Amino acid sequence: MNSERVFSGIQPSGEIHIGNYLGAVKRWVELCDDHDAIYCVVDDHAITVEYDPSRLPAMTFDASLATMACGLDPEKCTIFVQSHVPEHTELTWLFNTVTPLGSLFRMTQFKDKARNALQRKLTRKEGGAMKTAIHNLKTLGGEALEGLDELKKDLDSLDPDTRDDVAIGETVARMNDRMGNIMQRLQVGLGVAEASTALFGYPVLQAADILLYKATLVPVGEDQEQHLELCREVAQRFNKKFGEVFPVARRIKSEAPRILGLDGKSKMSKSLGNHIGMLDSTEEITAKLKNAYTDPQRIRRSDPGRPEICNVFSIHGFFTEPDVRDELAQGCRKGTIGCFDCKKVLAQSMDAELAPIRDRADHLRRHKGLVIDALDAGRQRCSDIASQTMEEVREVMGVGHGVFAGLGK
Residue 279 binding ligand TRP, by CB under 6 A:
no
Of 390, 400, 377, 396, which is closest to residue 84 (Cα–Cα)?
377
Residue 60 binding ligand TRP, by CB under 6 A:
no
**C-beta closer to ligand TRP: residue 220 or 259:** 220
Residue 212 binding ligand TRP, by CB under 6 A:
no
Residue 67 binding ligand TRP, by CB under 6 A:
no
**Closest approach of ligand TRP to the CB of residue 249, in Å:** 8
> Out of 6, 7, 59, 307, which residue is the one contacting ligand TRP (CB under 6 A)?
7
Cβ neighbourhood burial of 31 (10 Å; 0-12, 13-18, 19+): buried
**C-beta closer to ligand TRP: residue 11 or 67:** 11
Residue 371 binding ligand TRP, by CB under 6 A:
no
**C-beta closer to ligand TRP: residue 36 or 295:** 36
Residue 8 binding ligand TRP, by CB under 6 A:
yes
> Applying CB under 6 A, which part among 4-12, 120-128, 192-200, 282-290 lies near ligand TRP?
4-12
CA 187, chain centre distance (Å): 22
- Long-range contact set of residues 294-297: C-beta below 8 Å, sequence gap at least 24: 294/264, 294/339, 294/342, 295/332, 295/339
State the CB neighbour count (10 A cutoff) for residue 377. Answer: 15
> Out of 63, 91, 94, 210, which residue is the one contacting ligand TRP (CB under 6 A)?
210
Reported residue count of the chain is 409
**C-beta closer to ligand TRP: residue 218 or 382:** 218
Asked if 286 contacts 347 with a C-beta cutoff of 8 angstroms, the reply is yes
Site string for ligand TRP, 215-254 (x = CB under 6 A): ---x-x---x--x---------------------------
**3-class DSSP state of 309:** helix
**Closest approach of ligand TRP to the CB of residue 24, in Å:** 7
Of 80, 14, 47, which is closest to residue 382 (Cα–Cα)?
80
Kind plus residue range of the DSSP H or E element containing 320 = none
**C-beta closer to ligand TRP: residue 24 or 347:** 24
**C-beta closer to ligand TRP: residue 231 or 292:** 231
**C-beta closer to ligand TRP: residue 224 or 311:** 224
> Applying CB under 6 A, which part among 142-150, 171-179, 204-212, 345-353 lies near ligand TRP?
204-212
How distant, in Å, are the alpha carbons of 7, 23, 24, 200, 254 from that of 251?
10, 12, 11, 22, 9
Residue 9 binding ligand TRP, by CB under 6 A:
yes
Which residue sits closest to ligand TRP, CB atoms considered?
Answer: 9
**C-beta closer to ligand TRP: residue 13 or 349:** 13
Residue 6 binding ligand TRP, by CB under 6 A:
no
9: β partners: 40
Residue 45 binding ligand TRP, by CB under 6 A:
yes
Report how many residues bind ligand TRP under the rule CB under 6 A. Answer: 13
> Out of 209, 292, 310, 313, which residue is the one contacting ligand TRP (CB under 6 A)?
209
8: β partners: 39
**Closest approach of ligand TRP to the CB of residue 190, in Å:** 21
Cα separation, 341 vs 152, whole angstroms? 65
**Closest approach of ligand TRP to the CB of residue 202, in Å:** 7
Q: Helix, strand, coil shares of the chain as percentages rounded to 5? A: 65, 5, 30
30 φ/ψ angles, rounded to the nearest 5 degrees = -60, -40
Residue 171 neighbours by CB under 8 Å, 6+ apart: 154, 157, 158
Residue 61 binding ligand TRP, by CB under 6 A:
no
Q: Report the side by side order of strands in the sheet with 78-81.
A: 78-81, 36-41, 5-10, 217-219, 250-252
Residues that bind ligand TRP (CB under 6 A): 7-9, 11, 42, 45, 206, 209-210, 218, 220, 224, 227
